[in-house]
Structure 1
Amino acid sequence: MQPQIRRVGIGMVVAFLAVFLQLNYVQILAAERIADNNANVRSLLQEYAIKRGDIITVDGKPVAVSESTAGRLKYRRTYPGGELYGHITGFYSIIYGTSRIEASYDDQLLGESGVITMQDIQDRFLGSGVKGDDVRLTVHSRLQEVARAALGDNRGAVVAMDPTTGDIRAMWSNPSYDPTPLASHDGDVAKDYRKSLDPNSLDSPLISRATSRSYPPGSTFKVVTASAALESGKYNPQSTFPDPQALDLPLTDDTLTNFSNTACTGTGEIDLFTAVTVSCDTTFAILGLDIPEEIQATAEKFGFNSPIPFDVSTEASQVPPVPDDEEPLRAFAGIGQGNVAATPLQMALVAAGVANGGEIPRPRLVKEVISPSGEIVDSFPSETLGSPLSAANASKITDMMVSAVADPSGTGGAAQIPGVTVAGKTGTAQTVEGNDPHAWFICFAPAEDPQLAVAVIVENGGTFGSEATGGAVAAPVAKAVLEADRALRGW
């Protein structure tokens, strides 16, 4: 055999072995993903030869980037923001696939959105390689950092949004996780880290408490109940109700008492405006018994009972119908207990709907998609999801929520900001017997020209435990976020 032919033959064998080893490597590393998604090794190799686009905050901070490697897979995904953005970016993993924004905008990040720019043509012609589009979030890095710091070590979530545009300015869930180890090309690293997150547990850090976990909303739901009361035409802010120390429930010998186990005014009656201010349970339990269908219908217009259209998956909040033989549950539904459950994102939408004159903005987590050459190839206009209450009634609810914060007898005084009118509603939600209550607060500001709506939950009252209230625990968290946004945007 001639030396030249021998060299060609050896070269072909080496090339074959290189391809074989590369394919074998990916088959072993991505075995689970290949089986689950019916993907093939060749397509994964091609995918990882693309420099995936960056995910950046609205103020330009990279929170997901692709770095070149010396390994068989050309690029590896890393997350400079770590756990701060884990529930927003999600992960891009050769073993576990994609999640959250990495999943929702996978085509764009891979440069397969269908929009071809001159830069794309030039790169392909010159063999410069393919780079995906960047995705710019609506989240501001400073506000995200403040949300995390304000919540501290407490389990829970913070959602802050522009009530007019629906832009999510901050969305923090604690505990969180760092997506970088899940994106590792070392299979053992990725698997060990995922195992440490206890992925099969309902308490796993992989679950976003902001969008994918629902809780009894407690008295924050009284905003929905009060809205239903006004929309029914049967009630107005001055409508009066009996003010008992305990409300007798139908079909049972049980009673429903106020948080303080006393009457709310001591005068024998209370009006709806005052009931919101002092968060009177018996008033809203009476409404729950009187207008259950209206409450459910209004809740659904706010977004309950169906997944919220959003850039990442959400759990549907629930206000299920209550049969006649379970009538006491209607009283509890009126105060956000019983079978009622809501995500923090949903309660942020409740606050935003009131702030936006009765119209619910569609929440959006992505502002725009940007090509490698810097062109905006896609943007997302504001949308309205529904109108649960009229502008006139939204104004009345706003006045009640302002009183809940500003009035000395209100429950939300800890959210007061000098020079700013804050509208808010506290919630202290009872949980499974033996567990401490959840602390809630929803709000928006300034009340006369709303710029930011916020929802906060602190699971089981955080460090306050059984002594927790929404006003004492969650309201200060919301206040910190409001103040930070005010400093950034000058409202």
Structure 2
Amino acid sequence: MHKQLRHISVATLAMFLALFVSLSVIQVFAVDELRADGRNVRTLFASYSAERGPILVAGEPVAQSRPVDNEFRFLREYLEPELYSAVTGYFSLNQGTTGIESAYNDFLTGTANEQFLDQLSALVTGQSPRGAAVELTIDPAVQQAAFDAMGDLRGSVVAIEPSTGRILAMVSTPGFDPNRLSAHRTSSVIDAYNELISDPLRPLNNRAIGGDLYFPGSVFKVLVTAAAIDSGEFDPDGEFPNPPRLQLPLSTNVISNAEGGNCGGQETVTLATSLRLSCNIPFAELALELGQDELAGYAERFGFGQTIAVPMNATPSQYPENLDDAQLMLTGFGQYDVRVTPLQIAMISAAIANGGELMQPTLLDRIIAPDLSTVLESEPEVFSQPISRRTATTLTRMLVDGVSDGVAFNAAIPGVEVAGKTGTAENGAGQPFTLWFTGFAPADNPQVAVAVVVEDGGGQGQNAFGNQVAAPIARQVMEAVLNR
């Protein structure tokens, strides 16, 4: 009898211990994960009852909470909504949160661990906690210039300060109005969300960091050139055969240069000229000589295959694996299955502009408590060192030639040396081109690195090129930075 009682006691104690451990794990270790879970309706309702902190650009709110006379107490408002929608995202009772609203939700609601003393003070005084303000790195003049330059075009602009990684502009067009999703009337929010999600133009996609990845086309030649020079096996004066057409090995596919003839009108062409005039065939030959492993390794150094948090997670850009020779040659000019975000392309230019050192890109300047003290401040952080300073210097001169005397001339700014490269990516037979520009300015003291992508051939199908459409957009963005 005593033995049975002892077994029951041990089993009961074990169950109590298991329950205690389970509750402790949930209440202590999993609290942040549970709080951030979009399915946690309690957290979302509680956040409506508190005064959510503003999102600031240059000290001015682009998102703020306004008191209202209903059970939610506050309504989230977005000022200049489409201009900043790719950055702020939305805060919605029915659809959760995205963008900065999601990434810094704990700080905005005042529930972050760093705000414990504020939470304790609110508990003692009986007041609802107030959220902290999140100040962004975005420059309003640069953001406006990028948005205006894109106009009705579909695509994205990313502008980065190379020396710090601060993102000065992040635009995705078309944008959307987050105010439609922050309303307190459930039916109207659901209708607005369904309308946006079914829109074929995909306004909810932040094209700068996600959505459908793009073929980079000739802007990928910048990375290929960087890999070639940095490897020590090639230099700008090295020459490549330059036929007007080339049949790929073990394939019936034939590739040609953009104009369909000898690029530059010569039977052989240097690497420098190939980049300046954007010759496809020499870069296909270069990719084959470099090899898949070398190109994949340099791509990874620049950020390919990695989740980059800005703080929103960017979809990893892709350099394909297990390539045959024909596929490898196509990657040399950004085709086959090379896929990228505009952020990734801007990072390549930013690394070259910063002497080969790539800084972690970020939208966060600082987080400010309601008493105006700084809760968290962003510090420049090195992401990687993909190439040497010597390679970056050499490549900079090559990219300057591409703007001053090459196919990227529409990015030129009078009195300023601009380094840049255009791209016109193919998307399949009969499909409109994707148009690109990437570069930085001034070349001798870079203040901004930029990437511009325009979908659907800028409305011109296969009749437009990166220099015609994307380069002038980039020029306006770079001018906005230089005129600050």
TM-score by length of 1: 0.88
For residue 483 of structure 1, what is the amino acid of its counterpart? E
Q: Distance in 2 between matches of 1:254 and 1:118?
A: 66
Among candidates 394, 398, 413, match of residue 396 of structure 1: 394
Residue deviations 1:451-470 (CA, integer Å, cap 9, x gap):
00000011122133322111
- Change in 2 beyond 3 A, CA 1:40/1:162: closer
1:307 is matched with 307
For residue 315 of structure 1, what is the amino acid of its counterpart? T
2:317 is matched with 317
1:98 is matched with 97
**1:441-460 alignment, distance < 5 Å:** 441-460=437-456
Residue deviations 1:153-204 (CA, integer Å, cap 9, x gap):
00010000101100000000001111111111100110111111125x7852
2:165 is matched with 166
1:431 is matched with 427
Give the CA deviation at 1:63.
Answer: 1.0
Give the CA deviation at 1:39.
Answer: 2.7
1:328 is matched with 326
Q: Which runs of 5+ in 1 are unaligned?
A: 1-32
Q: Distance in 2 between matches of 1:261 and 1:242?
A: 15
Contact kept? 2:433, 2:456, Cα under 8 Å: yes
Contact kept? 1:305, 1:320, Cα under 8 Å: no
Q: Distance in 2 between matches of 1:226 and 1:367?
A: 33
For residue 417 of structure 2, what is the amino acid of its counterpart? T
Q: Secondary structure at the match of 1:293?
A: helix
For residue 378 of structure 1, what is the amino acid of its counterpart? L
2:379 is matched with 381
2:66 is matched with 67
- Change in 2 beyond 3 A, CA 1:40/1:314: closer
- Change in 2 beyond 3 A, CA 1:399/1:107: same
1:191 is matched with 190
For residue 469 of structure 1, what is the amino acid of its counterpart? F
Contact kept? 2:349, 2:449, Cα under 8 Å: yes
Residue deviations 1:455-490 (CA, integer Å, cap 9, x gap):
0011122133322111111000000001111111xx
* Count of residue correspondences: 448
Greater shift, 437-446 or 59-68, is seen at 59-68
Give the CA deviation at 1:128.
Answer: 4.4
Give the CA deviation at 1:319.
Answer: 0.5
**1:229-244 alignment, distance < 5 Å:** 229-244=228-243
Q: Secondary structure at the match of 1:48?
A: helix
Contact kept? 1:288, 1:331, Cα under 8 Å: yes
For residue 189 of structure 1, what is the amino acid of its counterpart? S
Q: Distance in 2 between matches of 1:45 and 1:383?
A: 36
Q: Distance in 2 between matches of 1:437 and 1:40?
A: 44
- Change in 2 beyond 3 A, CA 1:38/1:472: closer
Contact kept? 2:153, 2:459, Cα under 8 Å: yes
**1:468-483 alignment, distance < 5 Å:** 468-483=464-479
Q: Distance in 1 between matches of 2:238 and 2:61?
A: 53
Among candidates 452, 460, 465, match of residue 464 of structure 1: 460
Q: Secondary structure at the match of 2:437?
A: strand
Contact kept? 1:52, 1:132, Cα under 8 Å: yes
Give the CA deviation at 1:295.
Answer: 1.2
Q: Distance in 1 between matches of 2:118 and 2:288?
A: 63
Contact kept? 1:182, 1:193, Cα under 8 Å: yes
Give the CA deviation at 1:124.
Answer: 5.2
1:24 is matched with none
Q: Distance in 1 between matches of 2:118 and 2:339?
A: 49
Q: Secondary structure at the match of 1:322?
A: coil
Residue deviations 1:336-387 (CA, integer Å, cap 9, x gap):
0111011100000011011011111110011100001111110111111111
Q: Distance in 2 between matches of 1:296 and 1:217?
A: 15
For residue 85 of structure 2, what is the amino acid of its counterpart? G
Among candidates 416, 419, 424, match of residue 420 of structure 1: 416
Give the CA deviation at 1:102.
Answer: 0.8
Give the CA deviation at 1:61.
Answer: 2.2
2:81 is matched with 82
RMSD in angstroms over aligned alpha carbons?
1.9
For residue 46 of structure 1, what is the amino acid of its counterpart? A
Contact kept? 2:357, 2:382, Cα under 8 Å: yes
- Change in 2 beyond 3 A, CA 1:400/1:60: same
Contact kept? 1:322, 1:330, Cα under 8 Å: no
TM-score by length of 2: 0.89
2:202 is matched with 204
For residue 432 of structure 1, what is the amino acid of its counterpart? G
Q: Distance in 2 between matches of 1:138 and 1:468?
A: 33
Give the CA deviation at 1:257.
Answer: 0.4
Give the CA deviation at 1:267.
Answer: 2.5
Residue deviations 1:260-282 (CA, integer Å, cap 9, x gap):
00001223111111111111111
Matched, 1:344 2:345: no
- Change in 2 beyond 3 A, CA 1:264/1:72: same
Residue deviations 1:305-339 (CA, integer Å, cap 9, x gap):
2222321121111111233xx32111110000111
Q: Distance in 2 between matches of 1:366 and 1:463?
A: 34
For residue 265 of structure 1, what is the amino acid of its counterpart? G
2:287 is matched with 288
For residue 307 of structure 2, what is the amino acid of its counterpart? P
1:270 is matched with 269
Q: Distance in 1 between matches of 2:201 and 2:456?
A: 13
Contact kept? 1:100, 1:313, Cα under 8 Å: no
For residue 67 of structure 1, what is the amino acid of its counterpart? R
Give the CA deviation at 1:228.
Answer: 1.0
Q: Distance in 1 between matches of 2:243 and 2:172?
A: 39
**1:119-138 alignment, distance < 5 Å:** 125-138=124-137
Q: Secondary structure at the match of 1:198?
A: helix
Q: Secondary structure at the match of 2:188?
A: helix
Contact kept? 2:310, 2:362, Cα under 8 Å: yes
For residue 302 of structure 2, what is the amino acid of its counterpart? F
Give the CA deviation at 1:238.
Answer: 0.8
For residue 318 of structure 1, what is the amino acid of its counterpart? Q
Contact kept? 2:38, 2:97, Cα under 8 Å: no
Q: Secondary structure at the match of 1:64?
A: strand
1:22 is matched with none
1:48 is matched with 48
Q: Distance in 1 between matches of 2:106 and 2:117?
A: 19
1:371 is matched with 369
Give the CA deviation at 1:38.
Answer: 4.9
2:227 is matched with 228
Greater shift, 433-442 or 473-482, is seen at 433-442
1:20 is matched with none
Contact kept? 2:264, 2:277, Cα under 8 Å: no
